[in-house]
Chains A and B, each alone.
Chain A
């Protein structure tokens, strides 16, 4: 489709060709019987609905409304995931031995990681770029209060900050504090307040 703006024509053409090319590639592969019309949807659904931060959000929301569940989540994160029917990677996949650290008025938890593959994928989804940055990791260890305030998390001096190195053995994530003023919210509404950052400890949850 030619653009009305000279100089943007290349972009518009490139877009049309790229979109057509992928379509052509898929239809060729379907024609040859290499894949079916469902194959790509199956792959994408894995990222869109099976593993991702929506799982972590639901677990945290349930823990906020159900103290017994919260106790189980803290004691055995994988079992709690299974209770809600979420994947944990129990058969050796990532997410094996997940543990959750609870934020309280006295303690704030942050997770760091030196290897990308140690992120708690099943509950937090894909790690953000900065998470793997060695500078970030080093600075969190050295000056956590400063780093957290850069993320917009201002903690009182009395709050202890604990840093958890998420590893291949234990993949840590954070149970944030339930914000004030959310007493009347449903579990679903509460889940919608959660972000991956809050479950990494670099953000707080806003009501």
Chain B
């Protein structure tokens, strides 16, 4: 029973340490600005009805499982928000919010833009 979608979405991830986002003193812990943005976009798209939150959650869990099956459990390369971002890309395309290839194109532009400034 939740009236706030944000609340429901975050709480639904607290089931296991594996899928729960990093937090500190009762707050979400974001180490890099892009983590915040990726977190907010994933919740916002579902809030607007582009996909069910459970679909995102399952995509995230599958992405983490895939990473864990191909890496050692103590691999220092482990990065929760890399998995989050990867899940977000997958679901954005699967739900039709983005078309495949669109993001790569935009990314190339952003990176070009960075290189030339």
**Which A positions have Cβ atoms within 8 angstroms of B?**
14-29, 32, 34-35, 39-44, 46-48, 51-53, 87, 89, 91-94, 96, 116-117, 119, 121, 124-129, 132, 195-196
Given A21-B107, A92-B1, 18 extra CB contacts under 8 A? A18-B34, A19-B33, A21-B85, A23-B37, A24-B106, A25-B89, A25-B106, A39-B41, A40-B41, A43-B39, A53-B27, A89-B3, A89-B7, A94-B7, A121-B11, A125-B26, A129-B20, A196-B26
Whether A24 contacts B25 by the Cβ 8 Å rule is no
Q: Which chain B residues in 1-54 approach chain A with CB under 8 Å?
A: 1-4, 6-7, 10-11, 14-15, 17, 20, 23, 25-28, 32-34, 36-41, 43-45, 47-48, 50
Main secondary structure, interface of A, reads helix
**Which B positions have Cβ atoms within 8 angstroms of A?**
1-4, 6-7, 10-11, 14-15, 17, 20, 23, 25-28, 32-34, 36-41, 43-45, 47-48, 50, 81-82, 85, 88-89, 92, 97-98, 102-103, 106-107, 109-111, 114
Q: Give the shortest distance, in Å, between B39 (CB) and chain A (any CB).
A: 7
Give the docked Cα–Cα distance between A18 and B37 (Å): 11
Within 8 Å by CB of A29, from B6, B23, B41, lies: B41
Given known A26-B37, A44-B39, contact A126–B3 (CB-CB < 8 A): no
Which residues of chain A are within 8 angstroms of B17 by Cβ–Cβ distance?
129
Give the docked Cα–Cα distance between A21 and B36 (Å): 13
Give the docked Cα–Cα distance between A159 and B50 (Å): 54
Give the docked Cα–Cα distance between A19 and B45 (Å): 19
Give the docked Cα–Cα distance between A53 and B37 (Å): 22
Whether B48 contacts A34 by the Cβ 8 Å rule is yes
Which residues of chain A are within 8 angstroms of B45 by Cβ–Cβ distance?
29, 34-35
Which residues of chain B are within 8 angstroms of A89 by Cβ–Cβ distance?
2-3, 7
Whether A14 contacts B14 by the Cβ 8 Å rule is no
Which residues of chain B are within 8 angstroms of A28 by Cβ–Cβ distance?
98, 102-103, 106
Given known A35-B44, A89-B3, A94-B1, contact A128–B37 (CB-CB < 8 A): no
Which residues of chain B are within 8 angstroms of A91 by Cβ–Cβ distance?
3
Give the docked Cα–Cα distance between A14 and B111 (Å): 12
Q: Give the shortest distance, in Å, between B41 (CB) and chain A (any CB).
A: 6
Whether B85 contacts A18 by the Cβ 8 Å rule is yes
Q: Give the shortest distance, in Å, between A68 (CB) and chain B (any CB).
A: 27
Whether B10 contacts A92 by the Cβ 8 Å rule is no
A and B contact pairs by CB, cutoff 8 A, 8 listed: A20-B111, A27-B106, A34-B97, A35-B45, A40-B44, A93-B1, A96-B1, A119-B14
Whether A47 contacts B6 by the Cβ 8 Å rule is yes
Given known A23-B37, A40-B40, A44-B39, contact A195–B25 (CB-CB < 8 A): yes
> Which of B4, B48, B89 has the most chain A CB within a 10 Å cutoff?
B4
